[in-house]
Amino acid sequence: MEQNKTREGFSIVGYRTYVFIWVILLLLLALNIAVSQILVKGITVLLNIIIASCMALLDLVFFMNLRHEGKFLKLVVFMAIAVLTLIILFTFSDVWFRAG
Amino acid sequence: MEDKREERDYGGAKYGMWFFLLTEILFFGGMFLLYSVFRYRFPDQFHAGASEENLVLGSINTVLLLTSSLFMAAAITAVKRGNNKLSVILQALTVVSGVIFLIIKGTEWGEKISKGLYPASPVLLKTGKGEILYFGLYYVMTGLHGLHVLAGIIVISFMMYYTATGKINKNYPVRLENAGLYWHFVDMVWIYLFPLFYLVT
């Protein structure tokens, strides 16, 4: 991946890297639509969310340039996503086992 | 002698934006949670509601936002390489993509409203609880996302002015980088909204 730094220390990501990521994102979008049309329901929702998460990860790491941020920020972003995931899991642990 | 150098905290400016975005994750996260719980409770009615969505328009809108993210990322690279003119053009393309996105979204809302599918409409009140919840969530989530797109368009328009006048330049591009972070985040929210509303049929 082409990448360099300016004299001021800002990281510069090359145009080609962004175009490459954009092409992958479009392919994943096509895959997501295809999965929803072809496969049986039940599995599709899970697959749709997994593919969407891959797309979001590419967005976060490359377009938002998280890979060039410091360890602290990476940890904070990870914690926020982990907290949200835990909130969703705990809520579902209630929804799944609640009668009626 | 007075030192006229301006103190700029590049790292602090970036952290500020990231922390704001984390609050946005929890803001949209709450709505995604509501959607998940109600979809679990009313799977068939959510499927019926989603069958009203226009997959072609939704897909076009997704491609538009992904492409606008490419333009925005490239606009930041252009500024960092000292090419402000190219950056302004790329930012303008980002804004145009955002505007087309909103026009398409508005068309979709118009189609549904003309069919009587809007919150508390007589048509919707005759259907089940699940469909009422589905369309309620659809309007709230896509509406709030649309407002974020609009805010992004306004912010990037200011950034175009700052880039054209040289206030944003290769020595201090952080304003544009932060506007980019916001735009990519809005794109990321749509990446999840698209399968939840358009692909669950």
What are the pLDDT digits (tens) for B82-131?
Answer: 999 999 999 999 999 999 999 999 999 999 999 999 888 999 888 889 99
For residue A95, what pLDDT is reported? Answer: 86
Q: How confident is the model at residue B150 (pLDDT cuts 50, 70, 90)?
A: very high
For residue A43, what pLDDT is reported? Answer: 83
User: pLDDT for A18-35, tens place per residue?
Assistant: 999 999 999 999 999 999
For residue B5, what pLDDT is reported? Answer: 60
For residue A37, what pLDDT is reported? Answer: 87
Pick B62 or B121 by higher pLDDT.
B62
Per-domain residue ranges of chain A: 1-68, 70-100
d(CA A88, CA A84): 6
d(CA B18, CA B22): 6
User: pLDDT for A50-81, tens place per residue?
Assistant: 999 999 999 999 999 999 999 999 999 999 99
SS3 (DSSP) at B172: strand
Output DSSP code: residue B169: B
List, in sequence order, the alpha helices (H) in chain B.
10-41, 43-50, 55-80, 84-114, 122-125, 129-164, 174-198
Inter-chain residue contact A56 with B22, CB threshold 8 Å? no
For residue A26, what pLDDT is reported? Answer: 98
- What residues of B are in contact with residue A41 (Cβ under 8 Å)? 47
Phi first, then psi: give them for residue B165, nearest 5 degrees: -90, 0
- What residues of B are in contact with residue A85 (Cβ under 8 Å)? none
Answer for the pair A87, B33: CB distance below 8 angstroms, yes or no. Answer: yes
For residue A78, what pLDDT is reported? Answer: 94
User: Is the per-residue pLDDT at A94 higher than 60?
Assistant: yes
For residue A40, what pLDDT is reported? Answer: 67
Inter-chain residue contact A73 with B170, CB threshold 8 Å? no
Interface test with A, best of B55, B70, B177, B193 (most A CBs within 10 A): B70
Interface test with A, best of B38, B68, B76, B188 (most A CBs within 10 A): B188
Give the DSSP per-residue string, chain A: --EEE-TT--EEE-HHHHHHHHHHHHHHHHHHHHHHHHSPTTHHHHHHHHHHHHHHHHIIIIIS-GGGS-HHHHHHHHHHHHHHHHHHHHHHHHHHHS--
Interface test with A, best of B129, B199, B201 (most A CBs within 10 A): B199
User: Is the per-residue pLDDT at A6 higher than 70?
Assistant: no
Nearest-by-Cβ selection for B199 from A32, A84, A88: A32
For residue B109, what pLDDT is reported? Answer: 97
Distance of CA A42 to the CA centre of its chain: 22
Tokens 């692909």 appear where? B199
Say if B147 is an interface residue toward chain A (CB within 8 Å): no
Query: Looking at CA atoms only, how far is residue B117 from chain A in angstroms?
Result: 24
User: Is the per-residue pLDDT at A99 higher than 70?
Assistant: no
The total of structural domains in chain B comes to 1
Name every residue whose Cβ is closer than 8 Å to that of residue A60 and which is 6 or more positions away in sequence: A66, A77, B184, B188
Inter-chain residue contact B73 with A44, CB threshold 8 Å? no
Instruction: Give the CATH number, domain containing residue B157.
Output: 1.20.120.80
User: Is the per-residue pLDDT at A100 higher than 80?
Assistant: no
Q: Whole domain around residue B111: which residue ranges?
A: 2-198
What average pLDDT does the structure give for chain B? 93
d(CA A81, CA A76): 9
Q: Strand pairing of A11-13 and A3-5?
A: antiparallel
d(CA B46, CA B179): 35
Q: Which residue of B has its CA nearest to A53?
A: B192
